[in-house]
């Protein structure tokens, strides 16, 4: 129930307002009412008071790349279970990719997703529409109606737009409707039903490889199209060193490009696949040490703008089989915070940069509210305990699926309280003692 919530003594990290200090935050009727020196906000008799000594208070995290699977594949995830997993992972908003069944290429599916999200109430859901109808790469989807219904971006994610003319037209036409175009960069004739990164491990395992150039050639094409059309582009799930070099160069030239990576690309290498571990099978595939190092550096210095999980739930039905038949993708919502905190502990990122990557920048890129703790803003707030140690187990997972290569990992740091518009969506029991 919205009402009064006082968050006391937490380390408030709000890059948008240049704040990183111990502050109290008062929430009234779903909005941030005050941010002030500890003890200066009078304690209300009615309402909840949390002592957050040692915890971080940050703008609600936003995952700009999530597969919620509904409609169509509810055995993997529903909008309810997916957004509950989001809340458990500290996210107050997610962007929902369009590769549902049917594909979200029209206003009806978009409206359905938003209705289900409102019903669940765990997170804001920003639908992403398809670039092409049916994501079949032939005709533009109805961008205008998608936008009117509530879509914030378009992509054929899961599949690349192979036809360069279609991609050009999508960038041009998206401008009429203020939609961001998101690129899943993959040259399909090179990835060619590959199952993992191309190289000596693929050779040893007898698996067909996906060379890094399959990503880079398409990154280059889409950067060139963005420059040519003068329209912004966002590159999803960047995994290779050379993709990052291309993006960096385009940014230096002034091309309106933003880019995201996923925690697995800065945490794991292709070695995670050894032994035919389908829980480490994904597209783009896990790469090499050099790529991981480049991704980390790009997060630090700004070539990458966002960390997004590419949360891709699959059942055992999709994963427990021969490696090259198994589905691509892993769940990510509930491990993003601890995996990113590893970089903070290793001094690869500071806390402020982490908040930019997980909240401030995704809000800006998608053109949605959030990413700030300004007075008057909706009270979407995540409280992180950066020290809390836990073992990531199947039992703890809120997502409907369990496909994670991080099962059994000892992790440190997690979201302990998630607040959406002044309503607690996760973690109250942690504090109820």
Partner 1 sequence: MNPEYRFSHKHVLGLADFSVEDIQSVLQTAESFKEISSRAIKKVPTLRGKTIINFFFEPSTRTRLSFEVAAKRMSADTFNISNSGSSTVKGETLIDTARNLAAMNPDCIILRHPRSGSARLLADHINASVINAGDGTHEHPSQGLLDLMTVREAKGGIAGLKIAIIGDIAHSRVAHSNIIGFSKMGASVTVSGPATLIPPGIAELGAQVSRSVLEAVDGADVIMALRIQKERQQDPLFPSLREYAKFFGVSQKVADAASPEAIIMHPGPINRGVELDPKLADGSRSVILEQVTNGVAVRMALLYLIMGGD
The DSSP string of 68-92 is --TTT-TTT--HHHHHHHHHHTTEE
Residue 322 interacts with partner 1 (CB under 8 A): yes or no? yes
Question: How many chain residues are in contact with partner 1, going by CB under 8 A?
Answer: 20
Q: Outline where 254-380 has alpha helix (H).
A: 263-267, 289-301, 316-319, 336-345, 351-355, 361-366
The alpha carbon dihedral of 213, 219, 225, 228 has a sign of negative
Q: Outline where 28-142 has alpha helix (H).
A: 79-88, 107-120
**In residues, how long is the chain?**
433
**Stretch of residues binding partner 1 (CB under 8 A), selected from 7-15, 280-288, 323-331, 388-396:** 323-331
Contacting residue, 103, 205, 259, 312, with partner 1 by CB under 8 A: 205
Angle at which helix 79-88 crosses helix 107-120, to 10 degrees, equals 50
Residue 324 interacts with partner 1 (CB under 8 A): yes or no? yes
Residue 204 interacts with partner 1 (CB under 8 A): yes or no? yes
Contacting residue, 56, 122, 143, 323, with partner 1 by CB under 8 A: 323
Extended strands (E) in 135-236: 153-154, 180-183, 196-197, 209-210, 233-235
Short-list 185, 167, 186, CA closest to 231 = 167
Q: 332 is written with which tokens?
A: 């990510």
**Stretch of residues binding partner 1 (CB under 8 A), selected from 91-99, 156-164, 195-203, 403-411:** 195-203
Residue 250 interacts with partner 1 (CB under 8 A): yes or no? no
Residue 202 interacts with partner 1 (CB under 8 A): yes or no? yes
Residue 315 interacts with partner 1 (CB under 8 A): yes or no? no
**Stretch of residues binding partner 1 (CB under 8 A), selected from 102-110, 287-295, 318-326, 373-381:** 318-326
Taking the complex as a whole, the smallest distance from the CB of residue 72 to partner 1 amounts, in Å, to 20
Comparing CB distances to partner 1, the nearer of 289 and 301 is 289
What is the CB neighbour count within 10 angstroms for residue 31? 16
Contacting residue, 54, 321, 387, 391, with partner 1 by CB under 8 A: 321
Short-list 303, 100, 96, 291, CA closest to 198 = 291
**Stretch of residues binding partner 1 (CB under 8 A), selected from 116-124, 317-325, 330-338, 407-415:** 317-325
Q: Outline where 2-160 has alpha helix (H).
A: 79-88, 107-120, 143-149
Which candidate in 156, 157, 198, 310 is catalytic? 310
Q: What is the Cα–Cα distance from 43 to 9, expressed in whole angstroms?
A: 13
Contacting residue, 198, 216, 334, 380, with partner 1 by CB under 8 A: 198
Query: Which residue in the block uniquely carries the two structure tokens 């049916």?
Result: 134
Taking the complex as a whole, the smallest distance from the CB of residue 345 to partner 1 amounts, in Å, to 33
Footprint of partner 1 on residues 207-246 (CB under 8 A)?
A: 207-209
Tell me if residue 310 is catalytic: yes
Build a one-symbol-per-residue string for 261-280: x at contacts with partner 1 by CB under 8 A, - elsewhere: --------------xx----
Catalytic residues: 310
- Residues of this chain that interact with partner 1 (CB under 8 A) are 198-209, 275-276, 320-325
């Amino acid at each position: 129930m919205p009402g009064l919530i006082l968050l006391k003594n937490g380390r408030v990290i709000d890059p948008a307002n240049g704040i990183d200090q111990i502050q109290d935050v008062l929430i009234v009727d779903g909005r941030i009412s005050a941010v002030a020196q500890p003890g200066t906000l009078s304690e209300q008799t009615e309402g909840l008071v949390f002592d957050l000594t040692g915890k971080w208070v940050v703008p609600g995290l936003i995952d700009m790349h999530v597969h919620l699977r509904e409609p169509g594949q509810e055995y993997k995830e529903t909008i309810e279970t997916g957004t509950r997993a989001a809340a458990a992972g500290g996210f107050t908003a997610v962007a929902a990719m369009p590769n549902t069944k049917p594909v979200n290429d029209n206003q009806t599916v978009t409206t359905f997703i938003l209705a289900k999200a409102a019903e669940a109430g765990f997170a804001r859901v920003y639908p992403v529409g398809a670039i092409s109808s049916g994501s079949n790469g032939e005709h533009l989807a109805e961008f205008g109606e998608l936008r009117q219904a509530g879509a914030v971006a378009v992509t054929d994610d899961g599949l690349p737009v192979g036809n360069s003319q279609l991609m050009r037209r999508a960038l041009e036409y998206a401008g009429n409707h203020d939609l961001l175009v998101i690129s899943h960069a993959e040259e399909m004739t090179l990835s060619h039903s590959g199952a993992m990164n191309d190289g000596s491990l693929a050779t040893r395992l007898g698996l067909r490889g996906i060379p890094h150039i399959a990503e880079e050639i398409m990154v280059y094409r889409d950067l060139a199209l963005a420059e040519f059309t003068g329209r912004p582009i966002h590159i999803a799930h960047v995994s290779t060193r050379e993709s990052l070099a291309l993006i960096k160069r385009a940014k230096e030239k002034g091309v309106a490009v933003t880019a995201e990576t996923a925690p697995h690309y800065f945490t794991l290498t292709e070695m995670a696949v050894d032994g035919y571990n389908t829980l480490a099978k994904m597209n783009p595939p896990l790469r090499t040490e050099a790529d991981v190092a480049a991704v980390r550096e790009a997060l630090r210095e700004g070539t990458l703008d966002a960390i997004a999980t590419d949360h891709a739930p699959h059942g055992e039905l999709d994963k427990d089989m021969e490696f090259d038949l198994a589905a691509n993708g892993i769940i990510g919502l509930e491990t993003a915070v601890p995996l990113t905190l590893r970089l903070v502990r290793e001094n690869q990122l500071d806390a402020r940069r982490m908040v930019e990557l997980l909240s401030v920048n995704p809000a800006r890129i998608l053109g949605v509210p959030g990413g700030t703790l300004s007075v008057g803003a909706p009270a979407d707030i995540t409280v992180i305990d950066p020290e809390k140690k836990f073992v990531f187990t199947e039992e703890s997972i809120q997502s409907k699926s369990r496909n994670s290569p991080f099962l059994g990992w000892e992790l440190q740091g997690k979201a302990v309280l998630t607040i959406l518009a002044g309503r607690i969506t996760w973690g109250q029991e942690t504090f109820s003692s």
